[in-house]
Each structure stands twice: as C-alpha cells, then as structure tokens.
C-alpha cells in the first residue's frame, strides 16, 4: 500500500470529501472523491439530518486541523459510487475513522 498526501477541496458529508491527491513527481489527481474507509456516518438529509450535519461539521474541522499533514492510504480504487476508498491520517498519524467512531458520530463499516 502507498501513502499519498492530499489537499482537501471540500467536504461532502461526514464520511466523504473531495481532494487533490499528490502522487509524487509533480503528478496530481485532481478533485477526487475520497470515502473514509472503516466508518459510516448518518446522511445529511431526511430523518438523520441533524446527526449528519454534526458529523460533517466534525469532518470539516478535523480536516482543517490536520491540513498540513494529511495523508491517505488507498484501500480500494473505487467503491460502487466511484469514490476512492481510503484510510485517512492526520497529525501524529491520527486515524480519522477511529476519531469519528470515538466521537460517536458514525458506526464501523467495511465496504469490500
């Protein structure tokens, strides 16, 4: 597995964001949807809107705080929606999925 640095463009919901991925040697994948491996958060519409918006806000803040040391480890090139499925790490190797679980903003989920 390879680890890549990335720059966040925007957050979609509590477990998905859009980023530019640095592949090295000046090669970038631009505006790719990243699905956080290992966690599922509530949707931001319907009955779970409040919980979904809380998870999204947490993700936005976490990504902002870890922006200068944000990396991903790709688990699967694409899920059924075309998103890159990846483990996300921040400062001091903090695992984003585990942080979301610790904050009780999502549930454990493995999509393979």
User: Measured between alpha carbons, how far is 39 from 14 in angstroms, rounded to an integer?
Assistant: 9
As a whole number of angstroms, the longest Cα–Cα distance in the chain is: 45
pLDDT for residue 38:
94
Q: Residue ranges per domain, the chain?
A: 3-106
Domain 3-106 has CATH 2.40.50.90: yes
The pair of structure tokens assigned to 103 is: 């904050």
Q: Which of 76, 75, 71, 67 is nearest to 88 (CA)?
A: 71
Digitized pLDDT (tens) for each residue of the chain, 112 residues in all: 789 999 999 999 999 999 999 999 999 999 999 999 999 999 999 899 999 999 999 999 999 999 999 999 998 788 899 999 999 999 888 899 999 999 999 999 875 5
């Amino acid at each position: 597995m390879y680890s890549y640095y990335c720059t966040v463009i925007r957050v979609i919901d509590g477990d998905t964001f859009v980023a530019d991925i640095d592949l090295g040697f000046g090669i970038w994948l631009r505006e790719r949807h990243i699905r956080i491996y290992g966690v599922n958060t509530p949707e931001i519409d319907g009955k779970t809107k409040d919980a979904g918006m809380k998870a999204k806000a947490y993700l936005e803040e976490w990504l902002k705080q870890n922006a200068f040391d944000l990396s991903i480890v790709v688990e699967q090139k694409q899920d059924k929606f075309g998103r890159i499925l990846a483990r996300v790490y921040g400062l001091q190797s903090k695992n984003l999925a585990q942080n979301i679980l610790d904050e009780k903003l999502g549930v454990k989920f493995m999509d393979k």
